[in-house]
Structure 1
Amino acid sequence: MSAGTLWTIPVQYAAKPARAVAALTGLTIELPTGYTHMQDNKLPAFTDKFPHGKIPAWEGKDGFIVFESVAIARYLAGLAQDSSLLGKTPTDKALVDQWVHLAETEVDVYTSQLNNLLRGTYAPYSKPLHNIFLERQLRGLYTLEKHISSRTFFVGERLTIADLFVAAYVYRAATITLDTATRKKLPNLFRHLETVINQPAIASGSIWDPIPVLDTAVAYVAPKKEEKPKKEEKPKPAQPKKEEKPKKKEADDEEEDDIPAEPKTKNPLDDLPKSTFNLEDWKRSYSNLDTRGAGGSIEWFYQNYDATGFSVWRVDFKYPEELTQTFMSSNQIGGFFNRLEASRKYLFASVGVLGTANNSLISGTLILRGPEAEPVVSVAPDWESYNFTKLDLTKEEDKKFFEAALAWDLEVDGKAWTDGKNFK
């Protein structure tokens, strides 16, 4: 006998955890037939029950109604006696909520933003916004990856709704941003996804399709401009030819002909000694390889770095007392990077916000062309708001700082890395 109806559409990822809960607990639920999204959910018959008109939405046979995916999944899991899906102890229940909330707010929110941006749903496409949303989504995914790397499930030894929601959000991201190169950095998270969707009860319910594989992430495609039909030109009546008078050459014209064209200026950084270190190859390696460990980008750097023509620096914002909210400090780094655009071919940077709101600093590392930082960074009007300190990678302390800034696990004065950005 059915316990009620789960209002959703088959492809809706947010409803999959609730459907999986029903499958795992043996609860029978109905899915609506003949439901047309964005039409039926706007009708009074629907909005009288669910005021915001959102799906998924639950309507029980006992008259109980509830909407929002997490609330529905928790309710259905609670209907099953002795179910461990919500966690057995108060500690486990808190941890389940913790991972559900983090996956939703730090991964899926940015997946939604990226999807809307690529489709132009709410506003014109913006590459800087795309980069910000992608960096924040990946940061959340890396946190999940680190936690699941040493365990099978997110909380305890058995599957919980935390696993169901993480799987749903990772699956959705895999359809938009998680291309082959990025998936290599998240092996344990995809191993976990396979574990969840292949649970016998879930697999038999045909809740998830096979995990999609993207060679490259979905990219923005600008819409084609509609060509305006050409107006039919009416033939003009023939005009009698006028006798052309010889043109007088102005004195100013003669003078201009004698002035040689101004030569194109060359960036003095191009005249620095040649180096075997290729900055573009480094940027690709950093993007596509794990940062630490064997075969990682740091190992690649040491194998290929040539200080002839390049140098490594530490950068610190001079006025940390002015920093307030960490997301605002992260935006400040993004603005600084935007103003460095003219030096993109000469510079790589990994800079982050360390600490918490009203108690943070901005610090990181640069790899740049030439022996001095100023010629590269002075293209940004606010460059003097930062201190630039040259690093000596033969010194253990400088080397440790450099590697931690690349790996986004830098800690300075007891302040841990909170958010970061790369200039590539």
Structure 2
Amino acid sequence: MSQGTLYVLPTSPRSFILEDLVKYYKLDIKISDEKDERYQHYFPLGKTPAFIGAKGYALTEVIAIARYLFSLVPADQVKGVLGKNGAQYASILQWESLINQEWIGAWVPTFYLAVGKAPFNKKVNDENLAKLNTIGGILETRLHDYTFLVGERITFADLFAVAAISVALKTTLGAPFLAKFPNINRWFKTVSQSPFWNGRFEGFEAVKEPLTFTPPKKEKKKETNAAAAADAAPKAPKAKAADAADEAGDEPAPSAPKPKHPLEALGKPKNPLDEWKRVYSNEETREVAIPWFWKNQYDAEDWSLWKVDYKYNDELTLTFMSNNLIGGFFNRLSASTKYMFGCLVVYGENNNNGITGAFLVRGQDYVPAFDVAPDWESYEFTKLDASKPEDKEFIENMFAWDKPVEVNGEKRVISDGKVFK
């Protein structure tokens, strides 16, 4: 019997440190990035990470969850990760608390300001960057005299700190921070190579040029006619506001569902989605799930297939931010869960990536399913024909993620993605 479910936001350091803890110690715990009904019942604030035990024992806050997870690990396996005595254990908690509250608390505003989630305020930005450098100085001094934060071996304090610092090195601090603090640089390289991470930081490089705020470009209104011009003006700002929230790794709350979904008027389809979603989640995708989809799920009278492309790929930066953008979009589509299934993937690499995917939609029009999300107009929709080999191949590839995506005649590797189900 499973020992519980860990709910995560995969790109958040508070989440992926717990994911890796579960995987490293082979705990029988389900990891989910979907906020299901059980999650909503226990965690009305919508925070991640969160944990629900097999008997309904519920926890939030990363440090508390980590301690509970360690309690499930045999003592001989934990060894010195939590210190060898009470003093070291207290020191580990001290460093975790500093990083969790002060470091992450200072980094998040710099990131929000850089990507436009918050109105840019130079004073706030400078104060938080200064705080990060002050904490950097504290770590640098400590690591001048010690190999690790607590004594001469890696503890959970080191692992937790590396997780938090890694996202700053990929965004608003980058290589200049490591150049300024050589002891942190040495320590980060050592700790990030720990078997605990199972290769998560393989090939890791801090960004050479840290992210900084760039004023948004003004959209040029179309001059075809007044209606088109009025249409064009509000789209980009609305999309960018939502996109910035996603890239920051902080998932907004789902949009409030409409009293009655317009697709209810179509009545019940011959083949509801529930069984397909179960098959897709539990069976081998290519070997079992996709053949099952064509045989048992897809009915051209009840359903339509759509290629979905993000319109502003030239504005995407880091692949994990692009994946966060997808996650936020899916979150805002939650009112249409009963009426569609699909996958969006991120193809390419940092600073050269794009978003595409395929959706199965109830009915023959995509608009009623997608317009529950305020940023749906940031995407372009093209109807697919399953009788065409090239369209069928694209759909299967989007469901399986095991082959490169062809974009403008070029093969692009899929680096990440999410499933809407």
Larger of the two Rg values belongs to structure? 1
TM-score (norm 1): 0.48
Greater fraction of residues in helix: 2
**Higher relative contact order structure (alpha carbons within 8 Å, sequence separation ≥ 6):** 2
TM-score (norm 2): 0.48
